[in-house]
Amino acid sequence: MPATWIPWVSMWRVRRELAVFKILGGLACAGLAVYWYVQGDVRGVLLGVPAALLVGGMGLRDLLVPVRLSADESGITVVHGFAGKRHVPWESIWDIKVDVRRRWGLRSEMLEIDTGDHLHIFSPHELGASPTEVAAALRRRGT
């Protein structure tokens, strides 16, 4: 068995395409802000610069920390803050559930992991998979 072999590790990550689209969106907003600056449109600049920073920052986070949730034999590791990580042992996890909501004919799911002190919430976009499937995998592993 190779030295790097890990018996059981699962990782859920942001899809690369989503990160690329966020970066491109941030660049487009920056381009619009420059265009509006050249045109002398102050309101356009005031909208374009924060939008470029926000969307570009979200894309940068997706590139720096693509893995949002991972699970191994000792517990789970979640992204905490902008790019920090926090390891939570299986014994510290109180509940794993999926919050399903319907609004305007659309169905949305969010994975919620309750550790008592913190509630970690993940969307399907952050996980790159269905929160229902991820919750089932975590429940199987945590028992």
Tokens, residue 30: 């920056």
**Can you read off the two tokens belonging to residue 103?**
């609004």
Do residues 113 and 55 touch, judged by C-beta distance below 8 A?
A: no
Mean pLDDT of the chain: 87
According to the model, what pLDDT value does residue 1 have?
Answer: 39
Q: What is the pLDDT of residue 142?
A: 63
Per-residue pLDDT at 21: 95
Rg (CA), the chain: 19
Domains of the chain, by residue range, sit at 14-64, 67-142
Considering the domain 67-142 in this protein, what is its CATH number? 2.30.29
pLDDT in tens, 22-73: 999 999 999 999 999 999 999 999 999 999 999 999 999 998 888 899 888 8
Share of the chain above pLDDT 70, in %: 92
